[in-house]
Structure 1
Amino acid sequence: MYKSLFGRLFVSFTAIILISFIMLGVLLSQVFESYFIHQKQKIMLEQGEKISKQYAKVYFTGIIDLEQLSFEMQVLDKYLDAMIWIVDTNGRIYEVSRKENEVWLGQQLTIEQINEVFEGKILTIRGKFGGYFKEPVLTVGYPIMIGKNVYGALFMHTPIPEIQRTVGELFRITILCLGLSILISFVFIYFLSRRITSPLKEMNEAAKVIAGGDFDKRLSIQGEDEVAELADSFNYMAEALNNLEELRRAFIANISHDLRSPLTSIQGFVQAILDGTIPMEKQSTYLEIVLDETRRLTKMTNDIMDLTKMESGQIELNKDKFEINSLIRRVLNQFEQRILEKNVKLQLILAQENTMVFADKEQIQRVFYNLIDNAVKFVKDEGNIIVETTLSGKKLFVSIKNDGEKIPEEDIQYIWDRFHKIDKSRGKDKTGMGLGLSIVRQIIKHHGETIKVENTENGVIFTFSISIY
């Protein structure tokens, strides 16, 4: 049982509660005893003061009714559960409240501490009072004074075991209540431990299912605590793995198509040349096509290798200052023919005539090229492409906006993933492999910059930052 999380939680909680209750019980026992003794002592002092004053008054008048005095002492004895003695200035016992103590009448007390009472001090001691009692008693000695003179002393003795028995009864009641609380706590701990461990066990089973390749498994744990948050994160992870699996399958299908198409063309044209099907005067034309296809295959292979290096942190940046506006114009010139073919209106809005930035020029050119290529690919015919730079603090923001279809909301979070293609029909994107935006994000990430994509009213806008020199 102790090997499981439930067992450890249950045993730990139980041990903490038991130790806490034991410590509380010991502490309460000491507190109760100290409190009751203190309260008893306080009451005895109050009553001693009253008796002392009353006796002094009677003594002063010279009329002493011993029977009345004895009766009042007996009543007070029962009220305080304390034996009461009146002692004269010679230390002899003059009057007692209990008949069993009458044998001590006339005896002289030999305890040295009583001298303090005859000096006008109030005495409080614990013990057997010089052997007069068989069990410990709490003794309060109070001087009987008239003016500043002491004419006697009042001693009250209450058995400490009686106080302890009262405390014991109260303590037993407290222990009973604590025991009931412990029992309820055990039940609560049991269900609390189950509440914590059951979802974790469910997650463990779900993790094994997902590890087996079933990425459709989800957890149905409700709540707003950390365990529920963990379940949500687990479901998010499962969803991400499921999407990754779909991307993997799509990648296999896409790369098979992208490799098969140029290889089929290369094979067909080479075979036709070898068979003599293609005349000698046209062979150079078809060999140019074969060369273009091999370049396309080389580019795809290089993109995959570059992205793998970037994701593993092996990319090396050669940062230096350069003028970015000329780079933007140079890249746009490369797309002139494609822009004219779609009759697209291109607008270039620059923050200033010359802007010096600090970055890896070749990699930033690759970022801008991929984003322009993406914009030209998806802009609608006779649409608009707007390239704009803006300054903010020590950053230059470059945005590329194109008219056309918006990115579905469910695809925005996956648009930067490798091999992800929004145009799954491959109608507009016939040559791409879904690596361009992944490469863009990795380059920007390694520069320590930001890039974002947003849907606009008429299309899509990409914006990335770059440090100003």
Structure 2
Amino acid sequence: MGINSVFIKNNEPVSLLRYWTTRYLLTLVIGLLIIGAVSAYWIKYAAIEKQIEVTRLFAEEVADRVVDDVGNILVGEKLHQVLDNRRKFMGVDRNLILFIEDVKGKVVYSRPTKLPPPLQQAAPELLKQADMRDKVRHPSGETLYVIRKNLEFNDRIIGEVILLFPETDIKVGKEEIQYLVIMLGSLGVLGWAVIYFHARKLSEPIQNVVMSARQIVEGNYDVLLNKTIKEKEIHELVHTFAEMADRLRQLESMRTELLAGVTHELKTPVTSISGLIQAINDEVVSGEEQKEFLEICLKETKRLQKMVEDLLDFNSFAVGAITVCQEEQNVNKLVREIASQWQIVNDLGHVTFTVGVLDKQTMIYVDPGRVQQILINLLNNAKQAVGGKGSIALTLYETDTDLRIDVKDDGPGIPAKEQPLVFERFFRGSNKKDKVRGLGLGLSYSRMMAKALGGDLLLANSTSEGSVFTLILPMRKEQSEEIA
């Protein structure tokens, strides 16, 4: 008990809106952080490339300035002023370090003129590395980018310009960072708003279904649900739930009717038997009347026993405990025998009964007892439908895949609103409740038995001109020959 309580407490469910909004927001934040990191790296890379390009242009400018018309390298105080002006104009950072070497590798000019002692000591090694690399390491540990430009005269190299600028001097524009922050922030707010409103829209019909389910638990089956939903899965959920609620309402109504019906149906024979036996016991009747009363008691007892057996059989059938003993049968002969037996037992009076079979002898594997139960029940229902006058037809025919037996009557038919319920257990139509006594299990039994045989039982048609029930039997084995 304690473990279960802790488990439920630690795993308390949250609303769909909160669940998906929180997880989407977390995913969105992680995604935006990754995008931000990649974007920042790209902005930094673009700034480095821009700085390198500008410094390369400055190196070309320096190369053009220091070589005169006869191929000499000119350096001096005037060069300082020219280079400072050009560097300011081109936006090259003032921390730039400039070296000019002659063809022998000797430094003939440097800017600044007096290098810091650590850099002055490391200058030869830096210049040596600069000839082979695009980056070198400052004595302080800082990374320096290297830009080289050859000094040429008449297609002959007479020296080299070497520019070094620290990585820390590469500045990323504030506007670019601001744009990035605004863009990521806007995407975050927009993404959160989208998932919030979509999750809210998604959760509303589900919440309505939950509220309706609670109403059903409390016994209220008249629930109202909005079925005009565009999302296919949610629409199917709501539509299916509404159908389930309607079905439960019908079953609840049938259950109520069942309790009243079973009570009435079982109470009537018990009351009748009790009254008749009491009359015999009190010697109110004697002789032939006493014998007649006992016969009535026996008849009512058998009917009461049949009702109880129906209820017990239905419980067995409902859990699939239907025994089927299939054997090879001539289906024409089987149908004729069942029709003949039913006709002998029942006084048809003014009811016309016809039987139609196949034009060939067809052998199938089937349980003849179960087929008889189904057909007798259908024929009894047809007789009740036509009353004392009408026609009943029992017709056997085959399709490409199975054999079918139709039981047709010309009675008043089944009301359209009751047709979907005719195979429901304990359902009794409005035309039977006050005329025929029973529990409303006949058609449910029959369909269960038909399915156990591998077939089915259908209400093929029902109008004001009559009804047709169809028993479908699988044609597993067939041996036929034409009748001469």
Q: Tell me the TM-score normalised to structure 2 length.
A: 0.78
2:351·2:392 contact (CA, 8 Å) conserved in 1?
Answer: no
Q: Give 3-state SS (helix, strand or coil) of 1:165's partner.
A: coil
Which of 387, 390, 415 is equivalent to 2:395? 387
| Residue matched to 1:344 | 352
How far did residue 252 of structure 1 move?
Answer: 1.8
Q: Which moved more, 1:283-292 or 1:60-69?
A: 60-69
Report the CA distance shift for 1:193/1:315 in structure 2 as closer, same or farther (over 3 A). same
Report the CA distance shift for 1:390/1:2 in structure 2 as closer, same or farther (over 3 A). closer
How far apart are the structure 1 equivalents of 2:69 and 2:372? 118
Report the CA distance shift for 1:407/1:61 in structure 2 as closer, same or farther (over 3 A). farther
Q: Which moved more, 1:286-295 or 1:362-371?
A: 286-295
How far did residue 348 of structure 1 move?
Answer: 1.3
Report the CA distance shift for 1:2/1:386 in structure 2 as closer, same or farther (over 3 A). closer
The residue type equivalent to 1:319 in the other structure is Q
Which of 102, 121, 125 is equivalent to 2:135? 125
Report the CA distance shift for 1:152/1:42 in structure 2 as closer, same or farther (over 3 A). same
How far did residue 397 of structure 1 move?
Answer: 2.8
| Residue matched to 2:467 | 460
2:48·2:170 contact (CA, 8 Å) conserved in 1?
Answer: yes
The residue type equivalent to 1:182 in the other structure is G
- The number of aligned residues is 451
Alignment of 1:417-436 (within 5 A): 417-424=424-431, 426-427=433-434, 430-436=436-442
How far apart are the structure 2 equivalents of 1:113 and 1:397? 102
How far did residue 339 of structure 1 move?
Answer: 7.2
Report the CA distance shift for 1:197/1:275 in structure 2 as closer, same or farther (over 3 A). same
| Residue matched to 1:89 | 103
Which of 23, 27, 42 is equivalent to 1:12? 23
1:402·1:459 contact (CA, 8 Å) conserved in 2?
Answer: yes
Q: Are residue 445 (structure 1) and residue 477 (structure 2) matched?
A: no
Q: Give 3-state SS (helix, strand or coil) of 1:343's partner.
A: strand
| Residue matched to 1:266 | 273
Report the CA distance shift for 1:53/1:321 in structure 2 as closer, same or farther (over 3 A). farther
Q: Are residue 27 (structure 1) and residue 38 (structure 2) matched?
A: yes
1:114·1:141 contact (CA, 8 Å) conserved in 2?
Answer: no
How far apart are the structure 2 equivalents of 1:373 and 1:148? 119
Report the CA distance shift for 1:115/1:297 in structure 2 as closer, same or farther (over 3 A). closer
Q: Which runs of 5+ in 2 are unaligned?
A: 1-10, 478-484
Q: Which moved more, 1:415-424 or 1:177-186?
A: 177-186
Report the CA distance shift for 1:446/1:175 in structure 2 as closer, same or farther (over 3 A). farther
| Residue matched to 1:356 | 363
Percent identical across equivalent pairs?
A: 22
Report the CA distance shift for 1:115/1:199 in structure 2 as closer, same or farther (over 3 A). closer
How far did residue 247 of structure 1 move?
Answer: 0.2
| Residue matched to 2:8 | none
Q: Give 3-state SS (helix, strand or coil) of 1:111's partner.
A: helix
Report the CA distance shift for 1:161/1:348 in structure 2 as closer, same or farther (over 3 A). same
Task: Provide, for residues 20-75 of structure 1, a one-character-per-residue CA deviation record: whole Å limited to 9, x for no partner.
Answer: 22222223222332343245445655x4796599679x667648887799848854
How far apart are the structure 1 equivalents of 2:282 and 2:129? 139
Which of 217, 225, 242 is equivalent to 2:223? 217
Report the CA distance shift for 1:233/1:409 in structure 2 as closer, same or farther (over 3 A). same
The residue type equivalent to 2:37 in the other structure is V
Report the CA distance shift for 1:147/1:325 in structure 2 as closer, same or farther (over 3 A). farther
How far apart are the structure 2 equivalents of 1:401 and 1:113? 110
| Residue matched to 1:111 | 125
| Residue matched to 1:183 | 189
How far apart are the structure 2 equivalents of 1:2 and 1:41? 58
How far apart are the structure 2 equivalents of 1:377 and 1:366? 17
Q: Are residue 36 (structure 1) and residue 44 (structure 2) matched?
A: no
Q: Which moved more, 1:283-292 or 1:108-117?
A: 108-117
Report the CA distance shift for 1:125/1:323 in structure 2 as closer, same or farther (over 3 A). same
Task: Provide, for residues 316-367 of structure 1, a one-character-per-residue CA deviation record: whole Å limited to 9, x for no partner.
Answer: 33333333333322221233264732422424132x5333323333223222
Q: Which moved more, 1:206-215 or 1:455-464?
A: 455-464
